[in-house]
Structure 1
Amino acid sequence: MRIFILVNVLLLNTLLLTAQTYIPLSNDTNGLYQLKRQIIKSKEAEIKSITDLKNKEALQKIYTERADDLIKALDSNCYLLRTPLNLYVNTIFNEIIKSNPSLKDRNIRLLINRDAEANALSRGDGTIEINIGLIARLNNESQLAFIICHEISHYILNHSNEDIQKTISDYQSTATKDEINSIAKSKYNQNTRLQNLLTDITLRHRKISRQHEKEADSLGFLYLSNTIYSEAEALTALDILDHIEDEQNKIQIDYSKVFNFPQYPFKSEWLDKSDMLVMVQKKTTSEILLEDSLKTHPDCKIRIVYLKASPVQPNKKIFFQNEDLFFEMKKISKYEVIEYAFYSKRLSYCIYESLKLQMEFPDDSYLVSKIGKSLNIINFAKAKHEVGLYVPLVSSSYNLNYYDLTHLIREWRSTDITNINMLFVLQYYNKFKDEEFLYTSYQVAKANNDLETSDIIHNEYLNKYPNGSYKEKFY
C-alpha cells in the first residue's frame, strides 16, 4: 500500500514545534591499554596467591577466563569509558576512597556497564561494575554511593573468590561425584535427579550468597558513614531494589493506540493472548522458593531491617554534586539503555524502552528514529527468516507489557511492519527535522516502496544538510 502522507503534510503551513534530540555518549578509549594492564596484573596476583593446591589448576583457569572475558567485553564496547557519566560516578567513587584510607592501596577500579539490568557487581579482582540500568532507577546520589560501597565491600571481604572456591570444592567433592556416577548408572529419571542435584548445590550457594549480602551491607554502610553521604539513603536504595520488578510493571504501553492509524487500523487479533496461559499457571511451593532464591536482589526487606539497627548520622548530604546533575545523569542512563540495546541488536527491547521513554520525553526525535530504524531492520530480517536475531522468542519470564510487544512483532507480517512503521515515524514529520530523523524517514518510506515520499524527504535532507553525514547513503 502506498501512503502519500507527506504530500498532505507539506501542504500544511505549520510551525515546527520545539524539539530535543538526544546525542548518544561517545567513548574515549584513551587509557584503555593501561586499564587492560591493570586487569592482567590483578589476575597474575590472584593466581600467585592461590593456596588451594588441590584445585589450583581449576582456579587458575577461572581467574584467567575472568580477566579474558572482561578484556573482551571492554573491546566489544560493553562499557562506557571517559564519558560525562563516568566523570560523575567517579566523583562519588573518589569521595568514598578518600574518606576510607584503608581502601586507598587496594587497586579498586570502577566501570560503568552498558547493561540495562538494574544491577551492580564486584568481579572479585578489584573491578566494580555499575549498570546504567541501575543508575536509571535510583533517586539520588547517596543511594548510588551506598551501592558502590556495597560492591567494594564484596571485594574487600573476598566474597567472589570464596564463592568460586566453594563451587569448585562442591563439584569436585566425593559426594557429588558419587551422586553423578549413580545418576549415570540409573535407568530412569536421570534428568530429574541431575536437575535436583544442581538445584541443591545452587540453593546451598545462594544461602552463602545471602550471608555475603548482609556482610557487604554492613561493611558498605560503615564505608558510607565515613563519607559526606547520608546513611539513611542506604535503606531507600535497598527498597528500590526490592521493588524493581513492580516498577517495571507500572508503565503500561497501549500498543492498540500507539500503532493504530486511520489508514492502517490496529487489529485486536495481533494481541491474541490465547497462548499466554503459561503466565498465570500456579507454581508449586518449591518453585516459588527457588524463584525467590534466584532473584537478582533477594531478601531486601530483611536486609533493610538488619541495617535499620545501624546508627545514622544527622544532617548529612544526599547530594554532594549538583542535584540537577544527578537527574541529568539518570536521564542519560535511560537513553543509553536504548542506545546499547540497538547496538547489541536487541531490537524489540530497544523499541520497548524507546516507547516507554517517549511517554516521558515526547519531543525527542532520537526515540522515534530508534523505533523506526529497529522496525526497518526487523522487517528486512523477516524476509530472510532471521527475526530471532533481533526479537527473542516470547517468554513467560518477561513482564506482560514487553511480552505483548514481542508477541506483536512476531505476529506482524512484513506488510504490517512497513505500513505501521511509516505511519508511526512520519506522523512526526512536522515536528522533527534533524539529520537522523530525516534519514530514518527516508528509509521507512523506501521500505514501503513509496517513492514519491522518499524523494521528497531526500530533497529536503539535501537542502538542509548539503554536507550531511548521510549524504552518500541515499539509494
Structure 2
Amino acid sequence: MRQRLTVPPNASAAYRKDFLEIVESSAKNSYQIVRQQAILDTIIAPYLQGIFKKVLHANKEMVGKATLILTKSPIENAYALADGTIFFNIGLLAELENESQIAFILCHELAHVKLKHMEQGIVEYLETVHSKAFKKQYSQLAREKYNRSAKIATFFEEKSLSHLYHKRSLEKQADSVGFLLFTKTNYDPSQAATALKILARVDDPAAVPHLNLNAFFGCPSFTLDGYIKSGTETSIFGAVSDESPFAANNDTLQTHPDIDKRLRFIAELERSMPATGAAIEAEGDNKVKAICQREALQSWFDAQNYDYAAYKALLQLQQHPESNYLRGIVMLSLYAMQQHLKAHTFSEILSVESPRQPESFNQLIRLFGSLETSAYKNLSQCFHEAAPLRSATDEYTLAARYALARLQDDVSAAAEAKNAYTSRFKLGRLQAAIFPEQP
C-alpha cells in the first residue's frame, strides 16, 4: 500500500500527514481482514480463484497486478484496494447465480485497480478538506452563535454527498472498462446486466420473499397476536425534508447505488462491444451457491447478529424445509438471545427497525424485542413443533438439542446433549456460543 499510494508532489505538511494516515489505516485494515476473515477452504475458494484465473488469462495485462481474497463477510459486496487486492465477500458470492456473473464483478473490480480509483478518491477527498474554501466555510460555521452543531453537520453532509457523486462517476468508469475486460473472456456477456439486477434486488427490501412467522412460531399453546403487528413509530429517515439532498436520491443509502442507470449503460455497452468468445457455464454453480449461502448465514451467527441469522435461516427453511442445519441455527439463535436477555445485554445484539429493511424482518425484531425471558420457552417449543430437529449426531444438531433443552428448562436433556456434544466435539466451533462457562 505504501508503494502504490505516494504523496502528491508539493503537498503541504498537513496534507502529507493526512495522506499517510489514510494509507496506514487502509493497510492495517486490509491486513486484519486477511488475518481474520480470509476463507481458505477446499471448495469455495478454489472455485472463485479458478474464475479469477480465467479472467486474468483473457486479460494478460492485469496478470501480476491484482490478488483475490475471499472473505467470510456476509455483506453483499466486493471492493478493490490501490495495491491490487480485491476482497470478494461470501455474502455476495451467495447471491450470484453462475460463473459469468462472478466474472463480471471481478472484471469490474479489476477496472477499479487499472484506473487507480482508490488513489483518485483519496486525492479528491484531501483536496476538498485542505482547500481554502473548505477551511473558510468551516471556520465561519464554527463561529456561529446559534445552531452551530446542526449547521456543521449539514455542511459535512453536503461534502459527503459531493464525494459520493464522484464515486458514482468512478463506478460508471469501472463498468465501462470492466465490461471491456469481460468481453475478452468466454463468459456470457448478457450476465453482466443480470449481475447488476441481483445487486439491485439485494438493496430492495420489497424483493425479499414473504416470511410467514406464524407458520414457524405460532402454535395452539402460543399466539403471536400483538407481537408482529406493523410498526407505528416514525423512522428517523422520515424526518428528511423535501429540500434535503437525500430526498431527491432514493438510492443514496444503498450499498449499490445507481443500478438502474448502470443497467442502461451496460445495455449500451453490450450492443457496442460484442463478446469475442462463446458463452460457457460450470455445472457446479448451484452446489457452490448453496455452500456460500450457508457460510454467509454462519457469519451472521458468528458475528452475534442472532436475529438476522434466525431471519435468514427461516427464509431458507421455506425453500429447504428438510435442512437440519437451518433448524439448528434458528434454535441456537433463540437460545443466544434468551441468554443475552437474562444477562441484560439484549439491547447490544438486537437490530434496530428501519424502512430500508424488509418488513418481515422488522416484524421479527418486534417479536424478539417484546418477549420476556420465559416466553422464549414457548417460542422454541412452537418452532420445534413446526420444524423438529431430526435425529443426527453432527455438531449443529447436538448443539441445537442442548439449546432446545435449556430453553425448555429440561435439565436432564440438557446434560445429556452437552455430554454428547463435548465427547464428540472437544474443540467444536460452537463451544463458546453454547457453553460460555467453559475455557
TM-score, structure 2 as length reference = 0.88
Query: Hey, what's the Cα distance between the residues in 2 that align with 1:278 and 1:467?
Result: 49
- For the pair 1:437 / 2:408, whether they are aligned, the reply is no
Q: Is the 8 A contact 2:108 2:178 kept in 1?
A: yes
Query: Hey, what's the Cα distance between the residues in 1 that align with 2:422 and 2:33?
Result: 38
Report matched runs for 1:252-331 at 5 Å.
252-262=210-220, 264-278=221-235, 281=238, 284-285=241-242, 286=244, 287-309=246-268, 310-313=272-275, 316-319=278-281, 322-323=282-283, 325-331=284-290
Cross-structure match for 2:333: 374
- For the pair 1:403 / 2:365, whether they are aligned, the reply is no
Q: Is the 8 A contact 1:110 1:129 kept in 2?
A: yes
Query: Hey, what's the Cα distance between the residues in 1 that align with 2:51 and 2:389?
Result: 42
2:316 maps to which of 344, 357, 369: 357
Report matched runs for 1:232-243 at 5 Å.
232-243=190-201
SS at 1:332 equivalent: helix
Q: Is the 8 A contact 2:338 2:373 kept in 1?
A: yes
Query: Hey, what's the Cα distance between the residues in 2 that align with 1:244 and 1:458?
Result: 38
Query: Hey, what's the Cα distance between the residues in 2 that align with 1:282 and 1:167?
Result: 28
Report matched runs for 1:218-229 at 5 Å.
218-229=176-187
Query: Hey, what's the Cα distance between the residues in 2 that align with 1:293 and 1:101?
Result: 36
Cross-structure match for 2:40: 81
Q: Is the 8 A contact 1:253 1:356 kept in 2?
A: yes
Aligned partner of 1:149: which letter? C
1:65 maps to which of 15, 18, 25: 25
Report matched runs for 1:438-453 at 5 Å.
438-451=398-411, 453=413
Deviation track 1:257-284 (CA, whole Å, cap 9, x = no partner) reads: 210122x322311124353443995864
Structure with more relative contact order (C-alpha pairs < 8 Å, separation 6 or more)? 1
Cross-structure match for 1:169: 127
Query: Hey, what's the Cα distance between the residues in 2 that align with 1:129 and 1:471?
Result: 29
Aligned partner of 1:468: which letter? R
- For the pair 1:210 / 2:168, whether they are aligned, the reply is yes
Deviation at 1:446, TM superposition (A): 2.7
Deviation at 1:126, TM superposition (A): 1.0
Deviation track 1:235-268 (CA, whole Å, cap 9, x = no partner) reads: 2222222332337643121112210122x32231
Deviation at 1:156, TM superposition (A): 1.0
Query: Hey, what's the Cα distance between the residues in 1 that align with 2:120 and 2:303?
Result: 32
Q: Is the 8 A contact 1:376 1:418 kept in 2?
A: no
When residues 68 and 52 of structure 1 are mapped into structure 2, their CA distance, relative to the original with a 3 A threshold, is farther
Deviation at 1:349, TM superposition (A): 0.9
When residues 392 and 428 of structure 1 are mapped into structure 2, their CA distance, relative to the original with a 3 A threshold, is closer
Query: Hey, what's the Cα distance between the residues in 2 that align with 1:357 and 1:444?
Result: 20
Cross-structure match for 1:195: 153
Query: Hey, what's the Cα distance between the residues in 2 that align with 1:213 and 1:363?
Result: 41
Q: Is the 8 A contact 1:439 1:470 kept in 2?
A: no
When residues 84 and 102 of structure 1 are mapped into structure 2, their CA distance, relative to the original with a 3 A threshold, is same
RMSD (CA atoms): 2.7
Query: Hey, what's the Cα distance between the residues in 2 that align with 1:365 and 1:248?
Result: 28
SS at 1:121 equivalent: strand
Cross-structure match for 1:183: 141
Cross-structure match for 1:109: 67
Deviation track 1:24-43 (CA, whole Å, cap 9, x = no partner) reads: xxxxxxxxxxxxxxxxxxx2
When residues 458 and 193 of structure 1 are mapped into structure 2, their CA distance, relative to the original with a 3 A threshold, is closer
Query: Hey, what's the Cα distance between the residues in 1 that align with 2:132 and 2:380?
Result: 60
Query: Hey, what's the Cα distance between the residues in 1 that align with 2:331 and 2:101?
Result: 36
Q: Is the 8 A contact 1:346 1:390 kept in 2?
A: yes
Aligned partner of 2:235: which letter? V
Aligned partner of 1:337: which letter? A
Q: Is the 8 A contact 1:183 1:193 kept in 2?
A: yes
Query: Hey, what's the Cα distance between the residues in 2 that align with 1:442 and 1:143?
Result: 41
**Structure 2 unaligned residues grouped into runs of 5+:** none
Cross-structure match for 1:23: none
When residues 269 and 330 of structure 1 are mapped into structure 2, their CA distance, relative to the original with a 3 A threshold, is same
When residues 51 and 95 of structure 1 are mapped into structure 2, their CA distance, relative to the original with a 3 A threshold, is farther
Cross-structure match for 2:91: 133
Query: Hey, what's the Cα distance between the residues in 2 that align with 1:353 and 1:466?
Result: 28
When residues 110 and 305 of structure 1 are mapped into structure 2, their CA distance, relative to the original with a 3 A threshold, is same
Aligned partner of 1:130: which letter? F
Q: Is the 8 A contact 1:203 1:290 kept in 2?
A: no
Deviation at 1:186, TM superposition (A): 0.7
Query: Hey, what's the Cα distance between the residues in 1 that align with 2:253 and 2:402?
Result: 46
Report matched runs for 1:436-475 at 5 Å.
436-451=396-411, 453-454=413-414, 458=417, 462=420, 467-469=423-425
Query: Hey, what's the Cα distance between the residues in 2 that align with 1:153 and 1:338?
Result: 30
Q: Is the 8 A contact 1:118 1:133 kept in 2?
A: yes
Deviation at 1:350, TM superposition (A): 0.7
Query: Hey, what's the Cα distance between the residues in 2 that align with 1:297 and 1:83?
Result: 30
When residues 331 and 451 of structure 1 are mapped into structure 2, their CA distance, relative to the original with a 3 A threshold, is same
Report matched runs for 1:3-152 at 5 Å.
43-48=1-6, 50-51=8-9, 53-54=11-12, 55-76=15-36, 78-106=37-65, 108-152=66-110
Same amino acid, percent of matched pairs: 23
When residues 346 and 380 of structure 1 are mapped into structure 2, their CA distance, relative to the original with a 3 A threshold, is same
Deviation at 1:335, TM superposition (A): 0.8
Deviation at 1:471, TM superposition (A): 11
Q: Is the 8 A contact 1:256 1:268 kept in 2?
A: no
Query: Hey, what's the Cα distance between the residues in 2 that align with 1:439 and 1:381?
Result: 18
Q: Is the 8 A contact 2:324 2:397 kept in 1?
A: yes
Query: Hey, what's the Cα distance between the residues in 2 that align with 1:174 and 1:387?
Result: 47
Deviation at 1:290, TM superposition (A): 4.3
Deviation track 1:62-118 (CA, whole Å, cap 9, x = no partner) reads: 111111111122333x23124411111111111111111111132x11112222222
Query: Hey, what's the Cα distance between the residues in 2 that align with 1:248 and 1:66?
Result: 35
Q: Is the 8 A contact 2:205 2:356 kept in 1?
A: no
TM-score, structure 1 as length reference = 0.82
Aligned partner of 1:91: which letter? G
Deviation track 1:332-376 (CA, whole Å, cap 9, x = no partner) reads: 111111110111111111111111111111111111111111111
Query: Hey, what's the Cα distance between the residues in 1 that align with 2:322 and 2:106?
Result: 34
- For the pair 1:388 / 2:336, whether they are aligned, the reply is no
1:338 maps to which of 283, 297, 309: 297
When residues 422 and 437 of structure 1 are mapped into structure 2, their CA distance, relative to the original with a 3 A threshold, is farther
